[in-house]
């Protein structure tokens, strides 16, 4: 799989302590899943993923489950936080 295909979006993570990690290339595949082509990002359940949109807008998602797979990090998310 070409990992560059997984970099259609730019995201940030808001940690439980309020700190922000990112920007990070990723793909928000749906309102229920985001895929990162990185394994050095420490993101936990309950934190927030912020997806940048055109025009300075953004979408926020609650991370429900962070699953690690070699070469891929999947974040199960819920729109509407």
Please give the average pLDDT of every successive group of 10 residues along the chain, which has 81 residues: 65 94 87 76 90 92 81 59 52
The C-alpha atoms of residue 4 and residue 64 are separated, in whole angstroms, by: 25
> Which pLDDT belongs to residue 71?
56
Tokens at 53, concatenated: 């949109």
> Which pLDDT belongs to residue 25?
87
**What are the residues facing 76 on neighbouring strands?**
33, 65
């Amino acid at each position: 799989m070409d990992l560059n295909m997984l970099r259609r979006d730019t995201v940030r993570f808001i940690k439980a302590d309020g700190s922000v990690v990112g920007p990070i290339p990723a793909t928000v595949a749906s309102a229920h899943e985001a895929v990162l082509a990185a394994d050095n990002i420490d993101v936990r359940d309950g934190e927030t993923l912020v997806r940048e949109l055109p025009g300075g807008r953004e979408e926020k998602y609650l991370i429900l489950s962070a699953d690690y797979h070699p070469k891929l990090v999947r974040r199960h998310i819920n729109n509407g936080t």
